[in-house]
Structure 1
């Protein structure tokens, strides 16, 4: 790349100019090959990547991947970056990538991914939530069936629709005022709640 971008008229030697291109290429290679996760993309992050370990040695800071608040503050001031960036980069440099397909166990018949805990809900919780949702849906349908047609329609359009209809639109539909529609909606909602509570299992 250097031979194609150098400007001879500016007085730079090709060897000197090429050195900077080589250094930049090596820097990019180290950053991209260090981890499967992108380590540094901004100029400040790249500088921190190459300066942090050297500065820790200069200041006599030794850790096992977790910096003390005092050490983080000292490095932050020395490198002119935030403490958060220092802590984050230090953790990245202290830990290498591990494959989820690494064999574990005495016989090596299982992979690391097989023993990772599932932080999601348990099957029992999923089944219980589904049953509760079905129960609420059944109660809702039964309670709606007890309402007069007009109140059921107003309540459905106002509170059960993905795109609620305005009071004015319903008022025009039934030939009544917006305030009357609001009254019917509130009355229908109160009836609905009462019917669902009475029908709900103890």
Structure 2
């Protein structure tokens, strides 16, 4: 695979071949990640950067697949995730003590979520922490409850979701209606002289090109850097627990961490709560309007 080229921005037509290609790149050991990242940062070794990127393309596919329920092409989700991966390689500091794979996950997920929110702009999703959490949490919980997107929520289900996400039940019902209307408007069949299709096939695409997406990500970059600083001001155990619980894919369970650190589950939970409080204090001190950042560490 060393000499095989791969396009980081696949189309729907080339997606299957692309995914097969990503599985051929070997996964790296932590010491390999560190060496490659160090060579890139200190010597601008492009081969090292290329290997670092390609070994994590399968991670992007895995994370992007989790967002297929929003009606967007998987190829586009992967392309956006790859933009996040490219940004991660440019911002990663191997001397901070974090695994690149853990660091990259945040960038990948942030890029994909930003794209999803932008693509769902017809629903007029807000940008506060609670609104973002509701938007992404609603789909996830409905899937767990086996509730189809095209049916109305029962009061008991709406209440369950509201309780889980800690938001008013009225907000859950309101967003559900807007999301249903959005789905219907884009999937309603139409008949034209030139043939039949769906409304979404006839809409002009306003998706930003890759250059515009990179410009748009500048604000995300600043936010990520601040969150990274916040995490690194924690002590080693706090940082490891926060990373394991909030940034790893999938997140570690309390039972796993309790066994690893030879502590009780309650003690691990206390450490996590204390660490999250420190993060919020740091963000409150360094950023006046930190709602977007707060969402990332809730």
- Please give the range of the TM-score, normalised by the shorter of the 2 chains: 0.3 to 0.5
Higher relative contact order (CA 8 A, sep 6+): 2
TM-score, length of structure 1 as denominator length: 0.42
**Rg: which structure is higher?**
1
